Structure 1
Amino acid sequence: MAQGRGSAVAMGLALLCLLVHSEVTQAATFVVGDNGGWTFSTVGWPSGKRFRVGDVLEFRYNPWAHNVVAVSAAGYRSCSASPAARVFTTGNDRVTLARGTNHFICSLAGHCESGMKIAVTAV
């Protein structure tokens, strides 16, 4: 009888590992702006794409010319970042999507207004 319980536990652990692995492998990485990278007029880039919680956005850009700032919906609409906003500046930034709409802008003068912003909804 102990052997039966042991094999049931082993089977349960194997199933748990399989489920965890399948969740991890389902996450996708998206290069924002595709081959053009994070630049002006990327506002429409998310259109037609399906994003899930845990997917990764990779922002590729010239760090001397741009940045990436995670903002609220209000910050997205007004093209402004709060002092507490998370700012990325490496030129090759990876951001994991949270559930709901994730908003990003370039906070350099005039960039967001010129379309350097995206809103990505993850389900």
Structure 2
Amino acid sequence: MAQGRGSAMAAATVLLCLLLLHFELAQAATYTVGGSNGWTFNTSGWPKGKRFKAGDTLVFNYNPSIHNVVAVNEAGYKSCTTPKGSQVFRSGKDQIKLAKGKNFFLCNFVGHCQAGMKIAITAA
């Protein structure tokens, strides 16, 4: 009998963990960067007033022949440069999950970051 109760308890624990994981995933939100305008110039203020969480997805919609998205560190964000090893996205419909903490993105086409095509997002 004791073995049966232990097995039931283990199964209940696993089920509870799966439910919590499902709940956590269900809570993730999807945001289209720049709204209906998409990823373009002067989007640096777009994150204001929004509450982001780790696991949320950012969707970057843009014309890949004239823009891209680069995930950079804070120094790259501040200086509008692409540090070595930065991940560059070029699909025009990029979906990027936010990591906990600070997340920085920019377009590294000449002059685009300087013209406001960059965003900084802090995810809880």
Partner of residue 14, structure 1: 15
Write the letter of the residue equivalent to 1:31. Answer: T
Q: Percent identity?
A: 51
Partner of residue 75, structure 1: 76
Unaligned runs of 5+ residues in structure 1 are none
Rounded to whole Å, the distance in 2 between the matches of 1:118 and 1:9 is: 45
Q: Relative to structure 2, which stretch is displaced further, 40-49 or 81-90?
A: 81-90
TM-score (norm 2): 0.94
Alignment of 1:8-87 (within 5 A): 8-87=9-88
Aligned-residue Cα RMSD (Å) equals 1.0
Rounded to whole Å, the distance in 1 between the matches of 2:85 and 2:122 is: 22
TM-score (norm 1): 0.94
Rounded to whole Å, the distance in 1 between the matches of 2:73 and 2:12 is: 44
Rounded to whole Å, the distance in 2 between the matches of 1:65 and 1:14 is: 48
Q: Is the counterpart of residue 91 in structure 1 residue 123 in structure 2? A: no
Runs of 4+ more than 4 Å apart: none
Write the letter of the residue equivalent to 1:38. Answer: W
Unaligned runs of 5+ residues in structure 2 are none
Q: Relative to structure 2, which stretch is displaced further, 31-40 or 6-15?
A: 6-15
